């Protein structure tokens, strides 16, 4: 079943392995019959700093308005990014701060401790590169960037992460190893491995028609 997919490249460099990973993912998604849009954060023009927090509205740049439209259009979001200092890149964090705003991604109500999830029904893949061995990042560092994305960002807005790939260490990796990682990205679209729940499609369709506009 065809799905609307938005790929978000969180690495600022177009020459990175993350960029190659995103390219492979996009090709596999299109080959499998899905409709794909791409946001390369390094190509966007915006201030990554939420200058006034949530106390004062900050005008969204045209690229961010377009990004919000793409997110509402999408049924599935694929985030491709490196782990730097244990977390996500500053550019990607700034993008999230500026785009996933109250009234767009979530909404608090009086008397409720937890917000309404305005992007409910969407799914996500996380394709993450590291220079740390994945097992060490998982069991020793406890995966702070992954928990930040899966739990305190995406889940808060109603987006369910269905698959996470931890790929590394990239530092010192061979071409053969990198080819294997690219193959893992393509394998996400092998027959039977990628689907969307009908109820989720209905929820996303409602949001796309204006159910969670800013």
In a domain, 153, yes or no: yes
CA distance 4 to 169: 31
- CA nearest neighbour of 214 among 93, 109, 57: 57
User: Is residue 199 assigned to a domain?
Assistant: no
Say how many domains are in the chain: 1
Which of 53, 122, 50, 61 has the alpha carbon at shortest distance from 93? 50
**Maximum CA extent, the chain:** 55
Spatial contact of 128 and 118, defined as CB atoms under 8 Å apart: no
Is residue 172 one of the residues assigned to a domain? yes
pTM score of the predicted model: 0.91
* pLDDT higher than threshold 70 for residue 67: yes
The residue behind tokens 């995966």 is: 143
What is the span of the domain harbouring residue 77? 4-187
Alpha-carbon gap, residue 88 to 25, rounded angstroms: 20
| Sign of the torsion formed by the C-alpha atoms of 69, 8, 188 and 128 | negative
Residue 12 has pLDDT above 70, yes or no: yes
105 located within any domain: yes
Q: Give a yes or no: residue 205 inside a domain.
A: no
Q: Please say whether the dihedral angle defined by the alpha carbons of residues 68, 49, 158 and 135, taken in this order, is positive or negative.
A: positive
pLDDT above 90: residue 159: yes
> Confidence class of residue 15 from pLDDT cuts 50, 70 and 90?
very high
With respect to residue 207, please indicate whether it lies within any of the assigned structural domains.
Answer: no
pLDDT of residue 190: 87
| First CA to last CA distance, the chain | 30
Q: What is the CA radius of gyration of the chain?
A: 17
> For residue 48, what is the domain's CATH number?
3.40.50.360
Q: Identify the top-confidence range among 126-130, 192-196, 200-204.
A: 126-130
The enclosing H or E element of 92 equals helix 90-99
C-beta of residue 126 within 8 angstroms of C-beta of residue 165 = yes
CB atoms within 10 A of CB 212: 25
How far is residue 62 from each of residues 119, 120, 164, 210, measured CA to CA in Å?
Answer: 21, 24, 30, 19
Mean of the per-residue pLDDT values for the chain? 92
The answer to whether residue 196 sits within a structural domain is: no
Strands 35-40 and 76-82: unpaired
126 within some domain: yes
């Amino acid at each position: 079943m065809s799905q609307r997919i938005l790929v978000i490249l969180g690495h600022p460099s177009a020459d990175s392995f993350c960029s190659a990973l995103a390219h492979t993912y996009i090709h596999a998604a299109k080959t499998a019959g899905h409709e794909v849009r791409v946001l390369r954060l390094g190509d966007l023009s915006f201030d990554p700093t939420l200058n006034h927090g949530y106390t004062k509205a900050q005008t969204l740049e045209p690229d961010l308005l377009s990004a919000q439209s793409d997110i509402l259009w999408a049924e599935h979001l694929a985030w491709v990014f490196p782990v730097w200092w244990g977390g996500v890149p500053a550019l990607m964090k700034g993008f999230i701060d500026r785009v996933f705003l109250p009234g767009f991604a979530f909404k608090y109500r009086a008397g409720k401790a937890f917000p309404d999830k305005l992007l409910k029904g969407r799914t996500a893949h996380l394709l993450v590169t590291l220079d740390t061995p994945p097992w060490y990042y998982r069991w020793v560092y406890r995966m702070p960037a992954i928990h930040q994305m899966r739990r305190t960002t995406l889940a808060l807005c109603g987006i369910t992460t269905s698959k996470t790939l931890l790929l590394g260490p990239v530092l010192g990796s061979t071409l053969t190893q990198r080819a294997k990682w690219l193959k893992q990205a393509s394998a996400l679209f092998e027959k039977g491995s990628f689907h969307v729940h009908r109820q989720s499609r209905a929820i996303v369709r409602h949001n796309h028609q204006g159910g969670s506009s800013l």
